[in-house]
Structure 1
Amino acid sequence: MELAFLKPLFDRPGPWASVYIDTSRATEEATKVQKLRERFVAAQLIDASADAYTVRAVIDTLAHEPVSGAPPGRAIFAAGAEVVLDLPLAVSPLNTEATWSILPHVAPLARLRGDEPPCLVAYIDRTGADLELRDAHHRETLGQANGKEWRGRGHRSIPTDRYEWHYRNKVENSWNETADIIAGEIAKQWPDSGARLLVLTGDSRERKAVHTRLPERIRASAVEADSGSRSPGASKSVLDRQIAEAREAYARDRLQSALERFRIGRGRPGEHRKASVDTGRGDAAEGVPAVVDAARSHQVATLLLAQDASDAARDVWIGPGVDDVAVQRGQAQAMGVAKPVQARADDALLRAAAAADAEVLLVPEGMRGPAGGLGAVLRWSTP
């Protein structure tokens, strides 16, 4: 999960109301159930000493949940009588949860938000391509790439043998120019789209021609799907399934790669391995003290958080700055924090990771990950 969307939560002081609620409406009494959940949320926040104005802001937001089209769940973060972030969830929370704490309780998002990557989809034919951006929650049209189509003086049939080579050469040159235009438009849109996966769909020959013309950095993130069409009204159900499978495979491979880098970087218990010039592998940190040190110095490239992390709720000491995090109170004071306060380790580390443009990957229950459930792949080695 990329963490940039969480930055607004760390630009203002707490305390914070953090609410995770199931918003599905699968039963006839869904509206009644929703009202009961809202009352439960209000009671939980009031019992935790949340101020009345912030509680009211949360409840007003929940009351405006649409009757239809609601996501499986929502995460709401509020402070100072204002809802700062209202997020749809890809997975419904098992239980409604409402907390009041110095930091927003963002750690559950790693499980509930979903980690399938945003993807750029290009619907390709001989005349150009339609570009679409997808993530787990919505789709957005990014525009078109229109190429050239040569029709040979209005003829729809192939000319006589004398001109056949000339005709075919013109058509081929026209398509090559169109493929160049499409690849160029994808390369232009890619950096600002936020996509991490490119799906090329449409006519087989045309999509392969575009694939070969992409810059290497984008081609490495591209897959082809054979069920899409640029034609209006074309069914996309099979394509949707193929894209979902490609996104799941991407997320799975990225986690496996990060865990492999973590295991190599960690080495044997108590051993530090230096980065390899040949492989580009960095060191790893494991356990709360080591990960806190790495997060404070912006070394964390990937934060690994196990779903059943025993160290997640461990207390650390923080200050107002995103890098003000320490295992001991005296250490925080030595860093210049006048009045350190306690916070959950996972939330404090996610705050530091978001500020450093790191990512967080959830290690599913039953998969071997870092001891205690908290680890990191580092940007550079610790001497």
Structure 2
Amino acid sequence: MRLAFLEPLYAEPGPYVSVYLDTSRDVDRPERAIDLRWRRLRESLSRQGAGRALLNALEEVVGSDAELPGAHGQAVFAAHDTLVLDGELPSPPAHDSARYGTLPDAMPLVTQHVPEIPYLAVVVHYGGLPTADTHGWVTLEAEAGTWPASTVTPGERLRRRVAVATWHRAAVRLGHRLDERARHARADAVVVGGDEWACNVLLRRLPRGLRNRVVRVGGPTPTDTGRALLEPQLDHVFRGRMAVHDRELVDLFVSRRAGGGPVSEGLAAVVAALQRGQVAALLLNRPPVSARRLWVGALPTQLALTEAELVSFGVRAPREEPADEALVRALVGTGAELVVVPEPELRLPEQVGALLRYADAGTPSPRPP
């Protein structure tokens, strides 16, 4: 999983306010419920030392996702009286939270993007009888996305309406159009639902490479909900599944570990590799890594298990922070990826390991500010 979407968050120095809030619309009087939740969080942030201007900047965007139906949440970050990131959460947070600190609490936002599987969803509708009604219409809708984040941030939809009499010929052309979209999205799967006859005509005319990635699904296929196309079916197809790219990274880690290649395991070894900008991908069994804390400096690579270590590197005024927050900042700052691996598939010491960019050739210390 690439973390480039978090780069704006670290473009500003702290302190930061990090807010996670349930903004679901599937309850009675949702605006009132959201307002009450925000009031409690605002009071908590005020007690933590956040100023009024900073809180007002947050209040302008809290609950601004009114057009999004169903259950979901919102993650909002601000610094220096300015909003720096506003992200939608595919699921409501387990509990509302607000933190005012020197680093943003970004790990809960990251983990709601996992497993970040690229896909193409296609729905084909036809209400008539293919052998008798040649005057009807076939409608096709397609939408590329990345599950589960696209459930609350759906992409642009392709919509086409074709006369039944021309559906067999049109399906060839539309198949190539869908192939282009899938290639552009680097889709791991093409999830297809809708009328059986119309779907079968389309599937038989898809390019072979695309046809091999098709997953047929049943059940209702509404196309006007304001959420992701085939959202309930996507959850069933992808739950418990890893993205193909992440699976390749895990396989590479296992191969390198068996052959003595460049990998690190355990928190101390991973932190040492992050200090050197050596990590290509961080592997976690499950976030949070642990209840541990790390010492950090001003730069993303300035992190250590002890204050004394950072002081020995010449870092001035190091401070102690939650390990998750320090690790995410280091990953974003060094352009490293994150892979969450189910523990039964790969057990990691202290729940953490890393694929390295190069073999260890020494241990240079982090640069002082």
Same topology, TM > 0.5: yes
Secondary structure at the aligned position of 1:94 is classed as coil
Structure 2-normalised TM-score? 0.71
CA contact (8 A) 1:227 1:238 kept: no
Task: Tell me the amino acid that sits aligned with residue 294 of structure 1.
Answer: A
| 2:302 aligned with 1:310 | no
Instruction: Report the Cα offset of residue 198 of structure 1.
Output: 3.3
Match of 2:152 in 1: 137
Secondary structure at the aligned position of 1:58 is classed as helix
Note the 1:30-69 alignment, pairs <5 A: 33-62=33-62, 64=64, 66=66, 69=69
Unpaired segments of 5 or more residues in structure 2? Answer: 126-137, 362-369
Matched residues in 2 for 1:300 and 1:78: separation?
28
| 2:268 aligned with 1:294 | no
Unpaired segments of 5 or more residues in structure 1? Answer: 152-170, 275-282
Matched residues in 2 for 1:142 and 1:94: separation?
31
CA contact (8 A) 1:91 1:114 kept: no
Matched residues in 1 for 2:53 and 2:218: separation?
51
Instruction: Return 86-95 or 24-33, whichever deviates more.
Output: 24-33
Match of 2:367 in 1: none
CA contact (8 A) 1:319 1:339 kept: no
Matched residues in 1 for 2:36 and 2:343: separation?
31
Quick one: percent identity of the two aligned structures? 25
Matched residues in 2 for 1:70 and 1:200: separation?
23
Once the two structures are superposed, residues 136-171 of structure 1 have per-residue CA deviations (whole angstroms, 9 ceiling, x without a partner) of 214333547999x998xxxxxxxxxxxxxxxxxxx9
CA contact (8 A) 2:154 2:228 kept: no
Aligned length: 338
Instruction: Report the Cα offset of residue 124 of structure 1.
Output: 7.2
CA contact (8 A) 2:280 2:357 kept: yes
Note the 1:214-253 alignment, pairs <5 A: 214=210, 222-225=213-216, 240-248=231-239, 250-251=241-242
CA contact (8 A) 2:253 2:263 kept: yes
Instruction: Return 36-45 or 363-372, whichever deviates more.
Output: 363-372
Larger radius of gyration: 1
Task: Tell me the amino acid that sits aligned with residue 144 of structure 2.
Answer: L
CA contact (8 A) 2:271 2:304 kept: yes
Task: Tell me the amino acid that sits aligned with residue 293 of structure 1.
Answer: A
Note the 1:207-356 alignment, pairs <5 A: 207-214=203-210, 222-225=213-216, 240-248=231-239, 250-251=241-242, 261-267=252-258, 273-274=260-261, 283-295=262-274, 296-307=276-287, 309-310=289-290, 313-320=292-299, 322-329=300-307, 332=310, 337-356=315-334
Matched residues in 2 for 1:229 and 1:32: separation?
32
Instruction: Report the Cα offset of residue 79 of structure 1.
Output: 0.6
Matched residues in 1 for 2:3 and 2:219: separation?
31
Structure 1-normalised TM-score? 0.68
